[in-house]
Amino acid sequence: MGVYFAPACLRDLRAEPGRIRVRGMQWSMPHRVLQVIAALLVLTALSAFAMGIINAPQRGRMPGEKAEGSAGAAPLAATDATPLTQERIEGLAPRELTPEEKERAQAEKEAKEEAAEAAKAAAATSPPGVTPAPAPGASQAPPGAKTPDTPPPIAPSPDEAPH
C-alpha cells in the first residue's frame, strides 16, 4: 500500500482493484425506469441525427445560391395588394374644417392674442425686476415653446388597413 494512508472518509475514492470508486447515487425512481428513460433519450437523439443526414441535400450550397433542380417555393400571388404610394406613407391629407371648427379656432386665436397683449401691457406698466402674474385664461407654457395651431390628427376609418 505504501506510506500514504488516507482518512476513512476518502477511502472509497481510492482506486482499489475490483471495487467501485464511489457509491451509486440515490435516485428517487427505480433503476429500471431510469434505464428506460435513458434509452428513450438516446433513441430520440439518434433518430434526429439520422433524419438530419437523410434530409440533407447531396451537395451543399453557399448562402444566396439557388438550389439546382428544384423550383423551390412558389412566389405568393397577392391579388389585393396595392403599391405603397406617398399618400399611404405620409397619411391622409388633413380634412377641411367645418365652419364651427373654424369659428372655434378663430376665437381661440383671438383669445391668445388678447392674452399676449394684456401680458405685454402688464409688463410695460410693472416696475423693473418684477414679473407680472399671468392672466387667468393664459396657459402656462415654457418660454420659446410653440403651441400647435392645427387640430389633432383624425383617426383612420375602421375599414382602412393598419400601416
Report d(CA 118, CA 136) in Å as an integer: 11
Q: What is the pLDDT along the chain (163 residues), one digit of tens a residue?
A: 455 555 555 555 555 556 656 777 777 889 899 999 999 999 999 999 999 999 888 777 788 887 776 565 666 777 787 777 777 777 777 778 889 998 999 999 999 999 999 988 888 887 766 665 665 555 555 555 556 566 666 777 777 776 6
Structural domain contains residue 137:
no
Structural domain contains residue 15:
yes
For the full predicted model, state whether its pTM sits above 0.85: no
- In 3D, which of 113, 103, 106, 115 has the Cα closest to residue 140? 115
Structural domain contains residue 37:
yes
**Which residue in the block uniquely carries the three cell numbers 414679473?**
131
139 contacts 145 by C-beta, under 8 angstroms: no
Q: What contacts 116, CB < 8 A, 6 or more positions away?
A: none
Q: How many independent structural domains does the chain possess?
A: 1
Structural domain contains residue 130:
no
User: What range defines the domain where residue 27 resides?
Assistant: 8-53
Structural domain contains residue 93:
no
